[in-house]
A and B are shown apart, each in its own frame.
Chain A
Amino acid sequence: MIRSTLTIAGKDLRLAFAGGQGPVQAILLGLLLVFLFSLSAAPGDLFSSQQGMAIFWLCSSFAVVLIFSLLFRFEEENDTATALILSPAPIQSLWLGKTLAGAILLGLCQIFFFLAAVVFLSLDVQGSPALLLLMIVSVDVGLCVLGGLMGAMGHGQGAKDTLLTIILFPLQVPLLLGGIRIGTEVLYGALAVDVAQWFGLILAFDAVFSGAALFLFSHVFRGE
């Protein structure tokens, strides 16, 4: 299971960066969003940490859609999906491999998003960077777990896969709220008591949807 997961994640990263493309589309879209939002403040006005974090997570949320649509598109060109399903690798390792590759690509995108937020929105970290990183990783897990499942649903649907985002975005709400709230407090450097509760909620989201995806993926990604 672990070996085939890593094999698939490795292959997907290799394909993602083949031709120098990588998650460039997701990064560019995110940078564009940050730039556009920076126009929403009058010159000289400062963005609040909460606004900054909200824009950061909005970019991440869009990036997840683009990344997983890319990762599952790889399997469409010559119907390699069928070959993967027929392989001895457990079907769950396909989902896990893609989720892992997606998380790495998302993390890469977020470096750019964060830097852009610092530059354009004057974001400033006064609290613990380690806590910020921990929060981003735990929210990313949930985003990618759900993104991987949704990507598999969009597989082989042609243009219809974009419709799935209509349901994906509202499903992400608890994660995004958590990310914004913890992020805001870390940026201020003043932690309120509810940070632990928010972490609990985010981890619960990760656990519930990891379990669901492990079980549901084999129904979604199968031969036809």
Chain B
Amino acid sequence: MPISSRFLVVLACLAALSMLLGQYFIWFYAPEELTMGVVQKIFYLHLPLAWWAFMAFLGVFVASVMVLWTKNEKWDLWAGVLAEVGVLFCGLALVTGSIWGRASWNTWWTWDPRLSTTLVMWFVYAGYLLLRGAGVGGVKGATIRAVLGIVAFLDVPLVFLSARLWRSIHPTVFAAQGGGLEPEMWVTVWVNAVAWGVLFIVLAVARIHNQTLAHRIDYILARFRDTTLQHKE
């Protein structure tokens, strides 16, 4: 399915607008948090990034299952693209989370189950991207990548549970997060979640678009080489 460039431009403009709207909500609509002050506003980036990263990894899993099920390599393309966007968002979520942690708990890193799970997932999917880039799998590459995509996602709940158990005998560093948000704050979170979602879709569609073109060029080049070879014979 070729995606038209015009559609992409419209989508990108939409993403820009919704991001602007999100920023407006962050700075002018949401009230300033009393204890943390202006630093708390990073939360409005952090949470949507983490959500969409998780959605991306879920997408990798679904696309991987579809590769094995339908044997259609189109899904393999989707898995790769979603992993790229997922690792990007996941990385940003880690950085913003760390800055937030520094401001609120006075430490850059803490053994919080959510934070640890995000880090492990970042490792897993960054490795997954590296393997894709290296062309692991040869002829059966799409299948191997699909199996990795499935196995990686199965690990997520186990990592989360283990990180939570691990922490349980240490004293909790902080009270459960997310509680005590003003209604305006929640609205801001949701507006930003939607904005990042649109950006997420733009990035994924743009990558699919240029990967499809790259594949088509490869195909044409291969055909071209085949015919020149036959002429030489």
Chains A and B directly touch (beta carbon < 8 Å)? yes
A195-224 CB mask vs B (1 if < 8 Å, else 0) is 001100100110011001000100110101
Cβ B154 vs Cβ A212 within 8 A: yes
Query: A117 to nearest B CB, angstroms?
Result: 21
- Bound together, the chains give a CA A19 to CA B136 distance in angstroms of 31
Cβ A153 vs Cβ B123 within 8 A: no
Known contacts: A163-B130, A166-B127, A177-B166. The answer to whether A224 contacts B154 by CB under 8 A is: no
- Bound together, the chains give a CA A56 to CA B162 distance in angstroms of 19
Q: Which of B120-165 contact A (CB under 8 A)?
A: 120, 123-124, 127-128, 130-131, 134-140, 143-144, 146-148, 150-152, 154-155, 158-159, 161-163, 165
Cβ A170 vs Cβ B123 within 8 A: yes
Cβ A220 vs Cβ B147 within 8 A: yes
In the complex, whether B68 has a CB less than 8 A from a CB of chain A is yes
Query: A222 to nearest B CB, angstroms?
Result: 7
Q: Which of B48-85 contact A (CB under 8 A)?
A: 68
- Bound together, the chains give a CA A23 to CA B130 distance in angstroms of 29
Cβ B169 vs Cβ A192 within 8 A: yes
Query: B104 to nearest A CB, angstroms?
Result: 25
- Measured between beta carbons, the chain B residues less than 8 angstroms from A209 are 151, 154
Cβ A171 vs Cβ B152 within 8 A: yes
Q: Report, as a range, how many residues of chain A touch the other chain.
A: 20 to 34
Q: Report, as a range, how many residues of chain B touch the other chain.
A: 20 to 34
- Bound together, the chains give a CA A181 to CA B170 distance in angstroms of 12
Question: Which residue of chain B lies nearest to A170 when distances are taken between CB atoms in the complex?
Answer: B123
Cβ A166 vs Cβ B151 within 8 A: no
Cβ B155 vs Cβ A174 within 8 A: yes
Cβ B162 vs Cβ A178 within 8 A: yes
Cβ A167 vs Cβ B124 within 8 A: yes
Cβ A219 vs Cβ B143 within 8 A: yes
- Bound together, the chains give a CA A181 to CA B151 distance in angstroms of 24
Query: B34 to nearest A CB, angstroms?
Result: 36
Cβ A167 vs Cβ B154 within 8 A: no
In the complex, whether B168 has a CB less than 8 A from a CB of chain A is yes
In the complex, whether A149 has a CB less than 8 A from a CB of chain B is yes
Cβ B137 vs Cβ A157 within 8 A: yes
Query: A85 to nearest B CB, angstroms?
Result: 12
Cβ A201 vs Cβ B165 within 8 A: yes
* One of A163, A164, A167, A181 near B165 (C-beta < 8 A): A181
- Bound together, the chains give a CA A201 to CA B165 distance in angstroms of 9
* One of A167, A205, A208, A222 near B131 (C-beta < 8 A): A167
In the complex, whether A160 has a CB less than 8 A from a CB of chain B is yes
* One of A178, A216, A224 near B151 (C-beta < 8 A): A216
Question: Which residue of chain A lies nearest to B162 when distances are taken between CB atoms in the complex?
Answer: A174
- Measured between beta carbons, the chain A residues less than 8 angstroms from B154 are 208-209, 212
Query: B161 to nearest A CB, angstroms?
Result: 6
- Measured between beta carbons, the chain A residues less than 8 angstroms from B151 are 146, 149, 171, 209, 212, 216
Known contacts: A194-B169, A219-B68. The answer to whether A204 contacts B158 by CB under 8 A is: yes
- Bound together, the chains give a CA A153 to CA B137 distance in angstroms of 7
Query: B83 to nearest A CB, angstroms?
Result: 11
- Measured between beta carbons, the chain B residues less than 8 angstroms from A224 are 138-140
Known contacts: A164-B136, A208-B158. The answer to whether A220 contacts B144 by CB under 8 A is: yes
Cβ B140 vs Cβ A222 within 8 A: yes
Known contacts: A149-B151, A174-B158, A181-B165. The answer to whether A163 contacts B143 by CB under 8 A is: no
Query: What 6 pairs between A and B have smallest CB-CB spacing?
Result: A166-B127, A174-B162, A167-B127, A170-B123, A174-B158, A177-B162
- Known pairs A167-B128, A170-B127, A222-B140 / 6 extra A-B pairs, C-beta < 8 Å: A164-B131, A166-B130, A167-B124, A170-B155, A173-B120, A204-B158
Which residues of A does B touch, CB under 8 Å? 146, 149, 153, 156-157, 160, 163-164, 166-167, 169-171, 173-174, 177-178, 181, 192, 194, 197-198, 201, 204-205, 208-209, 212, 216, 219-220, 222, 224
Sample (12) of A-B pairs whose CB atoms are under 8 Å apart: A166-B130, A167-B131, A167-B152, A170-B155, A177-B165, A177-B166, A205-B158, A208-B158, A209-B151, A212-B154, A216-B147, A224-B138
